[in-house]
Amino acid sequence: MTTTPPTQDLDHSAADLLPPDPTQPQGQLPRTAPLIVGVAAVAAGALVGLILGSGLAVMVVLAWAVYAVAYPTWSAAVENRRKATDRLVTVLVWTAFGLAMIPLVSLILTVVIKGSRAISWHFLTSDQTGRALIEGTGGIFHALVGSMMVTVIAAVIAIPIGVLTAVWLVEYGKGSRLASVITFLVDVMTGIPSIVAGLFALAFFQIVLSDPLPRLAIGGGVALSLLMIPTVIRSVEEMLKLVPDDLREASYALGVPKWRTIVKVVLPTAVAGIVTGVTLSIARVAGETAPLLLIVGTAYTTNWNPFDGALATLPTFIYSALARTGNPQYGAAWSDQVWGAALVLIVIVMTLNVVARVIGAVFAPKAGR
């Protein structure tokens, strides 16, 4: 224990009330300090870069290094060590944030810029029938239909199984040996590589249909549902666990049977989280490629029949169109198509994410007055 007052561990208002610690400088950097140092650092980086004749990247790194050293040093000189450390860590945290944002921003910008060239009404509403082999000026309608069909089939299979399994795990099987076995298997399932799910669907329909190379949308739905089920189970399970036991007991104490308690109290209380989790799991499988290549193949025409025939989905369309971008005559046109389809896929997934958040906010229990 020291006998000096612990000035530097208190916040400003409290520190102001205490006598100043003579061992610590008591200055304060101006509020515009980050800006001043920033301008100086950019100038220094640019100057050194020009003198050395180096490129923009080197200048940026130099400017960052100058900033990361100068800003805390200035603070240490004027203020005290604690504030200098605080400012140094602030710089590092912002740096890490910026680095993490670079790939995201770069990806979105690239896709939007390159993809928006391809987007047109024609692109969204026509398929590749007839044009595919000669010029590559078709659209992605067949892939939109295929993606929608496969995803809906997967959701129809996975959501009831996932939600009911989670309800059983939380409400009925809690603590039993079977429940822990199922939880373990669900965890294992979460880690299944998507290609294996595709292989399973392929093998399954080879046996069921006695067809050496089955191509059907249902198969794609089965493969994707295998990937969806564990995520649905885990997210719904977590949401159901968040429902306080108090509410279940309140319902039981009113003479409400257990199944009604689950249907009318537990599920409505957790519905916001459940819908969000389910929507995010749909968004996750909407971008799957590998299992779909195995079981639904690729196609150029729109296939509305989920029980028979190959069809294209957005990811598999991107994959197959990419192979044609090397064509000396039509490569550029195919390249546009690839970026356009990628943009549409990103927009769909982002929309699903936004929808999930909106639904979560709408259904959340309100505590307003």
247 vs 350 by CB, closer to another protein: 247
Rounded to a whole number of angstroms, the minimum distance from the CB of residue 270 to another protein is 10
The yes or no reply on residue 187 touching another protein (CB under 8 A) is no
How many Å apart are CA 198 and CA 193, to the nearest integer? 9
252 vs 304 by CB, closer to another protein: 252
Kindly write down the DSSP assignment for every residue of 200-234, as one continuous string.
HHHHHHHHHH--SS---HHHHHHHHHHHHHHHHHH
Q: What are phi and psi of 12, to 5 degrees?
A: -55, -50
160 vs 257 by CB, closer to another protein: 257
Give the dihedral sign, CA 57/58/59/62: positive
117, 252, 351, 362: residue in contact with another protein (rule CB under 8 A)? 252
Rounded to a whole number of angstroms, the minimum distance from the CB of residue 262 to another protein is 11
The pair of structure tokens assigned to 366 is: 């309100």
9 vs 246 by CB, closer to another protein: 246
Burial of 309 (0-12, 13-18, 19+ CB in 10 A): middle
Binding mask 21-60 for another protein (x = CB under 8 A): ----------------------------------------
Give the dihedral sign, CA 214/216/220/225: negative
Kindly write down the DSSP assignment for every residue of 180-198, as one continuous string.
HHHHHHHHHHHT--HHHHH
Rounded to a whole number of angstroms, the minimum distance from the CB of residue 361 to another protein is 14
103 vs 368 by CB, closer to another protein: 368
94 vs 172 by CB, closer to another protein: 172
The yes or no reply on residue 175 touching another protein (CB under 8 A) is yes
256 vs 346 by CB, closer to another protein: 256
The yes or no reply on residue 249 touching another protein (CB under 8 A) is yes
Task: State the number of CA atoms in the 13 A half-sphere of 105 facing the CB.
Answer: 6
Q: Torsion over CA of 238, 240, 246 and 248, rounded to 10 degrees?
A: -160
Using CB under 8 A as the binding rule, the residues of this chain from 259 to 278 that contact another protein are 260-261, 264-265, 268-269
The yes or no reply on residue 250 touching another protein (CB under 8 A) is yes
The yes or no reply on residue 366 touching another protein (CB under 8 A) is yes
The yes or no reply on residue 246 touching another protein (CB under 8 A) is yes
Alpha helices per DSSP H over the chain: 12-17, 33-52, 56-78, 81-116, 121-125, 141-167, 177-190, 194-209, 217-242, 245-253, 258-261, 267-286, 290-295, 314-322, 331-363
Nearest Cα to 124, choosing from 367, 350, 356, 344? Answer: 344
Number of residues that bind another protein (CB under 8 A): 26
51 vs 367 by CB, closer to another protein: 367
Nearest Cα to 250, choosing from 264, 239, 238? Answer: 264
The yes or no reply on residue 255 touching another protein (CB under 8 A) is yes
150 vs 169 by CB, closer to another protein: 169
Using CB under 8 A as the binding rule, the residues of this chain from 322 to 361 that contact another protein are none
The pair of structure tokens assigned to 149 is: 């069909």
The yes or no reply on residue 248 touching another protein (CB under 8 A) is yes
The yes or no reply on residue 368 touching another protein (CB under 8 A) is yes
10, 52, 192, 247: residue in contact with another protein (rule CB under 8 A)? 247
How many Å apart are CA 199 and CA 214, to the nearest integer? 12
20, 160, 193, 257: residue in contact with another protein (rule CB under 8 A)? 257
> Given the rule CB under 8 A, which residues bind another protein?
174-175, 244, 246-257, 260-261, 264-265, 268-269, 365-369
